[in-house]
Each structure stands twice: as structure tokens, then as C-alpha cells.
Amino acid sequence: MPFKVIVTKDFDHMSEVAAQIVVKDIKNTLNNRDNYVLGLATGSTPTGLYKHFAKAANAGAFDCSRIQSFNLDEYIGLPGENAQQRALHPESYGFFMVQELFGLLQEKFKETNVPWGTLVDQEKLLAELKVSPGDWEEQGADKGGAIGIKANAQSEYLRWIRSQILDAYWKKIERNGGIDLQVVGVGGRGHVAFHESGIPFEGNKLLLVKLDENTVANAVKDGHFPSRQQSPWYAISMGTELVYSAKTVLLLANGDRKADPVAESLLDDPTPLVPISYGQIFSGKGGDMVYVIDKAAGKKVLESVETISQRGVDIEDISDQEASKKVEDLVFFRNPDSGLMG
């Protein structure tokens, strides 16, 4: 099955097409199964999708009570005296999801899950990492990196983080049959969630991440935190190994800043330096990989259509078409029982 790239006119067009893809996949799946597992992302990119999604849900397009969701990531180190305060902090990703999607739904999902980063005390984590250097190893070839806690760690607190915060999350996803469709965005350096540039692809289902200095600087620059000192420096995040274990991965990108990493992920061979390039490996193993990007993010893709197409990627430019064009005309969909269908 081809790797599909759909180039849309702008953010609104991208959001509408992406929402149609998600809604169609949910309806197809629920025709054959009792439940649907949806992977969600935060950030500004999917907010338009979520508004269209909520509108369809509230109009009765599908049954929300049969949907279970799992988010990609959550901060460690948000301001707050306890886990409850941290979870309710306006910059927490749980709070974001309530604002941008969950709170818009008239009928609620069966269950929602956000990685349990707010349960971790950042000061205690830092202290344990400092006094127990033999319990962990840093992974990554850049300024950020994953903290790999060893299974036989002597620190009780680090063992708890590994078993009850990291492993427990991906195991819960597996117990529920895996994610049917995972929504992802694109970081400025091609990262997905907090799987930063340079962190290895394999062996990283759930990551304890020390954030890239560029990521922290951007969070301050964009007004999310008043200073670098008051910004979280760690996070819990799905790694590419877990993200791309979904049946379908739907990647969204808009704006000029995303043009380089999007093009690199399609033109060059997969590399941990551009984490979203794992989509090539995912597609090669039979996964459903769909990019929905606006014209600005797709500028360099459109300049290299022939080269990218030769790499097995199907590119369709609908940027000059009506947003209401039927999505059935654009992409493939999974049949939960018999594989892909046109």
C-alpha cells in the first residue's frame, strides 16, 4: 500500500480533510468492532481537526462512548505543589485536551488517557538521577536525549517511574488492542511528540525525555512559560516505536517552518535525526501512513514530486480544489477484518 501525501490549501483545508479521514476510519472500524482506540496529539496543528471532529461527533456521525483515547506526551516539572495541581496547570497537555477537544464533546469518550508525567516530582527525579548514575543511561546524539532507566535500578523511585509511569502506559495500550489511528504533528526539527532528534528509533516505546534546549527555548518564546528556569525540562512521551505501531498514522503539518523536515522525511533515508522519517519504515512494513499538509509545509515536496514518487510515495495536490471534496476520493481506509480497502 502506498505512502500517501495530501497537499491542501491552508490550515482550515488541512484540518477539514484530516477530520474526514479520522471520522471515516472510526465509522468503518465501529461497523466491525465494538470499540475504537484513537491516538491524540497536542499543539496548535491538530486544533482545527479537533473542532471538525467534535462537530461531527455532536451531529451523531459516530458513538463517542465506544472510543478510548491515548495522548502522545505530557510534561514533567509543571508548576504545582502536587500531582493534581500540575495536572490542572493551563500548560498541561491534559488541560489542553479538555479545552480543545474533550470539553467540546456532548457525549464523552469511553475513556481518555494522557501519559502520567504530572505524577512525577521533577525535583525528586533530578535528585535520584544525580545520586544513582548507574541506574540509567542517556540515549541520543543531540542536545536532548532519552533517559533509559535500567530494569534493575537500585533507586526505588526510578524503578517506580519505569514500571508504573512508562511501561504501564504502553502495556495499557497493548491490552486494549493497540491504537487504530494516531494523530501526530511535526516538530521544527522533524521530531514527533517529544521523541527528539537523535534519540534511537528502536527500544523506546515510552520515553523519559530530557528536552532539547531548542524545545525549551521555543516554549518560552511562544509564551507558554515565563522563563527557561520555570519551564519543564523533562517529559514523558511515546517514542517512534510506539507511535508507529498504530494501524494508521496521520501526520499533519502546516506553515513554512515545517517545509524542511517534511521534505527530508520523504526525500532521504530514515534517520533518528529526523524522527518522522520512521514513517518510511512503518509504511514498508504495511502500516497506513498518511500526510495531510498545507501548501506552505508542502512547498519542497511539490518541488520534488517525481523524486519522492519514485520512492513509493503517492502525492496528491488538492490545494486548488474545494475543501468539501469527498475524502473517499483521496485516500485508502482500513477494513478491520480484511485489511486495506480502496
pLDDT in tens, 41-74: 999 999 999 999 999 999 999 999 999 999 999 9
Segment among 115-119, 138-142, 144-148, 158-162 with least mean pLDDT:
138-142
Q: Is pLDDT of 331 > 60? A: no
Q: Residue 189's pLDDT band (boundaries 50, 70, 90)?
A: confident
Q: What is the pLDDT of residue 341?
A: 38
Predicted TM-score (pTM) of the model is 0.93
- The more confident residue out of 333 and 158 is 158
Classify residue 304 by its DSSP letter.
Answer: T
Q: What rounded mean pLDDT belongs to the chain?
A: 91
Give pLDDT tens digits for 77-99. 998 899 999 999 999 999 999 99
Alpha carbon separation from 182 to 59, 250, 315 (Å, rounded): 23, 6, 20
Identity of the residue numbered 280:
Q
User: CA nearest 101: which of 74, 64, 73?
Assistant: 64
d(CA 258, CA 338): 35
Look at residue 301 in the predicted model and tell me its pLDDT. 97
User: E strands within the chain?
Assistant: 3-8, 36-40, 67-71, 73-76, 111-113, 136-139, 145-149, 181-184, 206-210, 234-238, 248-253, 288-294, 313-317, 333-335, 339-341
C-alpha grid cell, residue 189 = 526539527
Instruction: Label residue 144 by pLDDT band (50, 70, 90).
Output: low
Task: Catalogue all structural domains in the chain, each as residue range(s) with its CATH number.
Answer: 3-332 (3.40.50.1360)
H or E element at residue 55: helix 47-58
Task: Assess whether pLDDT exceeds 90 at residue 303.
Answer: yes
More reliable by pLDDT, 215 or 29: 29
The span from the CA of 34 to the CA of 54, in Å, is 20
339 vs 125, residue with greater confidence: 125
Cell 477530520 locates to 19
Among the ranges given (45-49, 109-113, 182-186, 222-226), the one the predictor scored with the smallest mean pLDDT: 222-226
Average pLDDT over residues 170-176: 97
Between 258 and 211, name the one with better pLDDT: 258
Task: Write the DSSP assignment of 2-23 as a string of letters.
Answer: -EEEEEESSHHHHHHHHHHHHH
pLDDT at res. 125: 96
Residue 5 phi, psi dihedral angles, 5° rounding: -120, 125
C-alpha dihedral over 205, 208, 210, 212, to 10 degrees? 30
pLDDT bucket at 325, cuts 50 / 70 / 90: low
Task: Return the higher-pLDDT residue of 67 and 139.
Answer: 67
* Nearest to 121, CA basis, from 78, 164, 65: 78
- What's the number of CA atoms in the CB half-sphere (13 Å) around residue 333? 17
Do residues 227 and 311 lie in contact, with contact meaning Cβ atoms separated by under 8 Å? no
Question: Which residues have a Cβ under 8 Å from the Cβ of 179 and sit 6 or more positions away?
Answer: 37, 38, 39, 70, 173, 245, 246, 247
